[in-house]
């Protein structure tokens, strides 16, 4: 990391991970970081092995206690979470040398939140969700084209029907760690741990 990176003093960090996330996200946006809300979701597959994929963070509770993402409950990640609710989120912004890690159990949000999330998406995204079949084998691109045409015939170019499996999931964070890289290798790490009366903050060795 032989480049100029932002400074970070764990001793001066706010009391909640939600507040620190907002500070870091505002700085990332100001610095022109691409896709700062793209995160890696890690789940546990039925064979006990970890699985991971990139998706978009759909919101964070003000104090950082809940981190939201959305998916089909019929997708691999949805099936993983139905069998094993523990998951982790990871964000990394290379230009700033910053990483954020979140761990905790996952629950489904109320149905009205999932519905609002779906209807707030672009028509193209809604059509893709109505096609579904995520991660199934596809013989050729023509299969997708045929399914897309079928959805457009059935629902139009601006579908408002919400798939029953569209789900907003909430990671109820038990721990959130912020990592700031440093050219001198004295990386700064701060872990927030959920406690009965809020959050405990602990500085960690690099």
Structural domain boundaries of the chain? Answer: 10-119+164-204
- Output the pLDDT for position 144: 85
Task: Please say whether the beta carbons of 168 and 115 come within 8 A.
Answer: no
CATH class of 10-119+164-204: mainly beta
CA 52 to centroid of chain Cα atoms: 11
- pLDDT, residue 56, reads 97
3-class DSSP assignment, residue 199: strand
> 10: closest CA among 151, 200, 159?
200
Written as tens digits, the pLDDT of the chain (206 aa) is: 767 899 999 999 999 999 999 999 999 999 999 999 999 999 999 999 999 999 999 999 999 999 999 999 999 999 999 999 999 999 999 999 999 999 999 999 999 999 999 999 999 999 999 988 888 888 899 988 998 998 898 888 788 889 999 999 999 999 999 999 998 889 999 999 999 999 999 999 99
Rg (CA), the chain: 19
Q: Is 144 annotated as a binding residue?
A: no
Q: What is the pLDDT of residue 74?
A: 94
What's the distance, Cα to Cα, between the start and end of the chain in Å? 14
**Is 142 annotated in some ligand binding site?**
no
User: Taking the model in full, what pTM does it have?
Assistant: 0.92
134 annotated as belonging to a binding site for a ligand:
yes
Q: Is 135 annotated as a binding residue?
A: yes
Kindly give the residue spans of alpha helices, DSSP state H, lying in 40-110: 76-83
For 1, which DSSP code? Answer: -
CB 200 within 8 A of CB 193: yes
The per-residue pLDDT for 134 is 81
Pure H helices in the chain: 17-30, 76-83, 111-119, 123-131, 141-155
Three-state secondary-structure class, residue 197: coil
């Amino acid at each position: 990391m032989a480049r100029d990176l932002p400074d970070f003093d764990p001793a001066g960090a706010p009391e909640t991970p939600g507040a620190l996330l907002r500070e870091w996200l505002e700085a990332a946006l100001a610095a022109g970081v691409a896709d700062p809300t793209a995160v890696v979701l890690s789940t546990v597959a039925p064979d006990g092995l970890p699985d991971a994929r990139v998706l978009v963070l759909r919101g964070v509770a003000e104090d950082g206690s809940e981190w939201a993402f959305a998916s089909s409950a019929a997708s691999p990640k949805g099936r993983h979470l139905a069998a094993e609710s523990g998951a982790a989120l990871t964000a990394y912004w290379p230009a700033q040398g910053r990483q954020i890690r979140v761990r905790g159990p996952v629950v489904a949000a109320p149905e009205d939140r999932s519905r609002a999330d779906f209807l707030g998406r672009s028509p193209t995204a809604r059509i893709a969700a109505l096609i579904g079949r995520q991660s199934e084998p596809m013989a050729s691109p023509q299969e997708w084209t045929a399914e897309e045409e079928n959805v457009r015939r059935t629902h139009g170019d601006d579908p408002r029907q919400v798939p029953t499996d569209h789900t907003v999931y909430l990671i109820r964070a038990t721990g959130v760690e912020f990592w700031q890289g440093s050219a001198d290798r004295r990386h700064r790490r701060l872990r927030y741990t959920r406690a009965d009366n809020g959050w405990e903050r602990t500085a960690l060795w690099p």
